[in-house]
Amino acid sequence: MKMKLINKYLSVFAAGLMAASCIGDLDTLPLNPSQTVSESAYGTDESAYIGGLARIYFQFVSNDLTDLQPMDGGASEIIRAFWSTQETTCDAVKCAWENDDWVRALNTNSWDESQNPAAYAVYVRAMQGISFANEYLRQTSADVLEARGVSADLAARIESYRAEARFLRAYLYWMAMDTFGNVPFTTENSPFGGTYNPKQTSRTEVFNFLVNELNDLISDNSAMPAPRSNYPRADKGSAAGLLARLYLNAEVYTSVRDAQGNVTTPGTPMWNEAKATCEKIFDMGYELCPEYAHLFRGDNGENPEARNEMLWTVAYDAESTQSYGGTTYMLCACVAATDVTDKSKPNGQVNGWAGLRAPFEYVNKYFAPTGISAKDDNGVYVENTYTIKDKRGQMFYIKGRKESMQDELYVFLSGWSCLKYNNYPSTVKDVYNPGAEALATAGVKAYSDIDYPMIRLGEIYLIYAEACMHAGGDASKQIKALADRAGVAAPSKIDQDFLVAERARELMWEGHRRTDLIRYNLFAGEDVNFNWTYKSGSFTGQPFPGYKYIFSIPYSELTANEELVQNPGYLDAE
């Protein structure tokens, strides 16, 4: 099954580029980062080099459990795991899976130095993907290609593939250092194999490396593909988007904290750099999708208006990438089995896992619904009726649900289901009542067709607004564009309170929330007066220790690599 998925994923990322022999060639590539790649895996055939690059891309949807401790393959996919650490730990999402050992800790901010499976999956998947990228870069260096007899024309094309690999490595490093702080650091020039253990590098050093890498990738002389030329693979727009995100969080990433999580050495803000990078992106030709909902529909990868907003996505296809992570997770976990057997077919998904939903308190705070459905004698909404002016809040599903999660954190039908990710294509207008004709043409599926938006223009507009707030400048045009699309009035001023709320609305359930709240000093710490439902285990919310702004280094990695040191505040592995 593993190779079947790899081969199918190749067809998504390398369509039109690789020869049929690529499938067989890829079989010789290692799935364990401690192994080296023999020259027989590459040679002078371009298809093998595309295959090696696809293996790095595949790391973002991989269910392969190689080098992972026993755990569910779908739950270990890095997008699903990272999304869980980013969203379930905050105000927008709670999970009802009481018996899954990662859930309780993330729901209630009660994780400690013991190995949380979701955080562990982020760590190992990221480190594994970085190893794949490093090995690919070793095997495609100029001197190695020359020794193999690779032609000059092919070597030039491979240089472009190398640029993509460097971007993918940068994105994985960003995920790792955002989640864990100081992480092991290696490049293609580092020793590898045998008994070598990579040394832990400070978050600031990793940040500086990534900034240099990404600036190089977007430079005029870079071999990185031009913006908007390489969908769904990465290009200069992707690199610029990640760079803007790094600059946005520069002060956090370059600060030093003590064992209580208090900042002892302030970091260096880089608002002017963030602003300038956003302005470069504005010149790259991206445009907002006119319909917000279409960004998250089953045909978003084929819809040119949706694609125009995407700086980088991870592609999913119901036939080619059959993973229980990614957007399949967003689809299945947001509905119950009783929902998908209802004639309304809420999100074009066959399976209902009854896991993820939004607390009513979050919905009420940021979307202010009115005209909510009547309730029966048990407090259950009778119909899926409510009124929210903001189009970004018109994706909830409440029929058969209770409003409050109080004393019912692990009861799926308590809280509001969020159907932001919807498997129906944009041609299906009424997704809650698609009708027989729409069902016949669009159908319902067991896996997702929705490409996951890793970076999109809406996020860049909000980064620009925040940079202008700090460095000076006028982001009113960009904020008005988001407001117009949402069908609401633009704000009279842009301040932190507005940005906290606007990012909650525009980027809801897209994997940003934890990082945002940390940047705004609203996440962890005994003096933080920003509560949410079940924060630190209390329904009304209460503070939790500041050192939990990052997760503990997995104890299995500490015991395997003596160069690693546990993060402050957490106990060392025994």
Task: Give me the mean pLDDT over the 497-501 stretch.
Answer: 98
Residue that the structure tokens 């190992």 belong to: 124
Question: Regarding predicted confidence, which is higher, 526 or 227?
Answer: 227
The reported pLDDT for the residue numbered 429 is: 81
**pLDDT tens-digit readout, 248-284:** 999 999 999 999 999 999 999 999 999 999 999 999 9
Most confidently modeled of 72-86, 203-217, 325-339? 203-217
The band of 457, judged by pLDDT with boundaries at 50, 70 and 90, is: very high
Distance CA 129, CA 369 (A): 42
Instruction: Let me know: does 449 contact 427? Beta carbons within 8 Å.
Output: no
CA distance readout (Å), 494 to 168, 464, 469: 33, 11, 7
Residue type, 436: A
Instruction: Let me know: does 327 contact 69? Beta carbons within 8 Å.
Output: no
Q: Name the β-bridge partners of 247.
A: none
Q: Which two tokens stand for residue 290?
A: 């006119």
H helix or E strand, kind and range, residue 463 = helix 457-471
The reported pLDDT for the residue numbered 333 is: 96
Radius of gyration of the chain (CA): 23
The reported pLDDT for the residue numbered 338 is: 85
Instruction: Let me know: does 9 contact 320? Beta carbons within 8 Å.
Output: yes
Each domain of the chain, given as residue ranges in start order, spans 1-199, 319-423
Instruction: Let me know: does 85 contact 551? Beta carbons within 8 Å.
Output: yes
Q: Cα angle at 537 between 534 and 538, to 5 degrees?
A: 65
The reported pLDDT for the residue numbered 321 is: 78
H helix or E strand, kind and range, residue 184 = strand 183-184
The band of 54, judged by pLDDT with boundaries at 50, 70 and 90, is: very high
Task: Determine the length of the chain.
Answer: 574
Task: Give me the mean pLDDT over the 307-322 stretch.
Answer: 92
Q: Which residues contact 266 (CB under 8 A, 6 or more apart)?
A: 251, 255
Residue 5: pLDDT over 60: no
The reported pLDDT for the residue numbered 319 is: 85
**pLDDT tens-digit readout, 544-568:** 999 999 999 999 999 999 999 999 9
Residue that the structure tokens 């609305």 belong to: 505
Q: What is the 3-state secondary structure (H, E, C) of 317-337?
A: CCCCCCCCCHHHHHHHCCCCH
Among the residue ranges 1-15, 136-150, 420-434, 550-564, the one predicted with the least confidence is: 1-15
**pLDDT tens-digit readout, 121-133:** 999 999 999 999 9
Say if strands 94-95 and 356-357 run parallel, antiparallel, or are unpaired.
antiparallel
Q: Calculate the average pLDDT of the chain.
A: 89
Instruction: Look at domain 1-199 and name its CATH class.
Output: mainly alpha
Q: 470, exposed or middle or buried, with CB in 10 Å at 0-12, 13-18, 19+?
A: middle
Distance CA 88, CA 107 (A): 6
3 state SS of 370 = strand
Alpha helices in 487-554 (DSSP H): 496-506, 513-519
H helix or E strand, kind and range, residue 456 = strand 452-456
Q: 569, exposed or middle or buried, with CB in 10 Å at 0-12, 13-18, 19+?
A: buried
Distance CA 459, CA 177 (A): 20
Q: Which two tokens stand for residue 391?
A: 């189009």
Task: Give me the mean pLDDT over the 161-190 stretch.
Answer: 97
- Measuring CA to CA, which residue among 446, 331, 314, 452 is closest to residue 397? 331
Distance CA 302, CA 297 (A): 10
The reported pLDDT for the residue numbered 323 is: 82
